[in-house]
């Protein structure tokens, strides 16, 4: 089993002929992802690397190839329209790597997706990877290892660090999901925790949060009541000053609930393991897996 995608998922790449789209499409294909189509308006009929057919629209790509998921590598000013187009095409999953989407665009996007039952991961995220099966996005495939630890994270860079820590300790991952750090995102912590709870191949979960908002507290409370698997949390930005944005657009402290200290206190009060430093995550999880 896996979360959200597997080795059979048929993927279309929006923006496949652009700089970022072409680079990461090749990386996904090399990893083994079932990339069946590319989409670039005006370039329909071409073939990407003499292998992947390119279409003018996502609708055409879905009709011709049966694509089930789309990943977006287009500039921010076009990204919302790209999400709308993907949602109208019939795909069930959209992964938006693009950063810099205005909040007002996301306020239009989310109700549209919910009406159509389409899952969005992102925007401003690294995507997701199922080790040994497939990756959609920009997560580096060389650092993952097949295993039983699920990872959900607001921070792309910390996701890579934690994956590397676990892999070097011989602890593999079931699915790793970067949900993005913008104020409005599609799939959130609770969505991922629920999916990990239902995944028979996931035995433990790592949650990597950041300052700003209350999503981590909400996730911690949900996990206490619903997650039967061990969970460890880490909150980035423990020394961040109030009122200053750190990294992601959503990582800003505007009140006491958005601080790292408050988030960590919530985890501890609920009996959830908390790592004070990223290096502790590997130690905690490795200990769990050895006991199991």
**Active site amino acids:** 248
Q: Under a CB-based contact definition with an 8 Å cutoff, are residues 99 and 137 in contact?
A: no
- Where do we find the tokens 């580096």? 140
Task: With H, G, I as helix, E, B as strand and everything else as coil, classify residue 191.
Answer: helix
Pairing verdict, β 127-130 and 134-137: antiparallel
Q: Under a CB-based contact definition with an 8 Å cutoff, are residues 101 and 84 in contact?
A: no
Please give the angle made by the CA atoms of 215, 217 and 221, to the nearest 5 degrees. Answer: 115
218-251 burial, b at 16+ Cβ within 10 Å, e below that, comes to ebbbebeeebebbbbbbbbbeebeeeeebbbbbb
Pairing verdict, β 273-274 and 231-236: parallel
Burial class (CB in 10 A: 0-12, 13-18, 19+), 51: exposed
A 10 A CB-CB count for 78 gives 15
**5/38 Cα distance (integer angstroms):** 18
**232/90 Cα distance (integer angstroms):** 36
Q: How far is CA 263 from CA 212, 217, 247, 258, in A?
A: 9, 6, 18, 7
- Taking Cα atoms as reference points, which of 273, 253, 255, 251 lies closest to residue 264? 273
């Amino acid at each position: 089993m896996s979360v959200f995608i597997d080795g059979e998922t048929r993927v279309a790449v929006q923006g496949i002929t652009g700089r970022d789209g072409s680079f990461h499409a090749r990386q996904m294909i090399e990893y083994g992802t079932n990339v069946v189509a590319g989409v670039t308006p005006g370039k329909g009929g071409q073939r990407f690397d003499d292998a992947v057919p390119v279409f003018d629209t996502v609708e055409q790509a879905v009709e011709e190839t049966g694509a089930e998921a789309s990943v977006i590598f287009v500039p921010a000013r076009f990204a919302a329209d790209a999400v709308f187009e993907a949602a109208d095409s019939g795909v069930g999953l959209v992964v938006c790597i693009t950063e810099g989407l205005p909040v007002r665009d996301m306020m239009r996007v989310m109700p549209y997706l919910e009406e159509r039952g389409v899952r969005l991961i992102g925007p401003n995220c690294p995507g997701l990877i199922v080790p040994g099966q497939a990756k959609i996005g920009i997560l580096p495939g060389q650092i993952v290892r097949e295993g039983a630890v699920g990872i959900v994270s607001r921070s792309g860079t910390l996701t890579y660090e934690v994956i590397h820590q676990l892999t070097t300790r011989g602890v593999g991952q079931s699915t790793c999901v970067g949900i993005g750090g913008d104020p409005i995102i599609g799939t959130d912590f609770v969505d991922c925790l629920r999916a990990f709870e239902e995944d028979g191949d996931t035995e433990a979960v790592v949650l990597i949060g950041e300052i700003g908002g209350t999503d981590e507290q909400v996730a911690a409370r949900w996990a206490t009541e619903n997650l039967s698997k061990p969970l460890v949390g880490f909150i980035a930005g423990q020394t961040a000053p109030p009122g200053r944005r750190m990294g992601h657009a959503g990582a800003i402290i505007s009140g006491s609930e958005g601080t790292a200290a408050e988030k960590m206190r919530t985890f501890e009060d609920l009996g959830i393991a908390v790592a004070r430093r990223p290096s502790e995550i590997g130690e905690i999880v490795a200990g769990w897996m050895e006991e199991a």
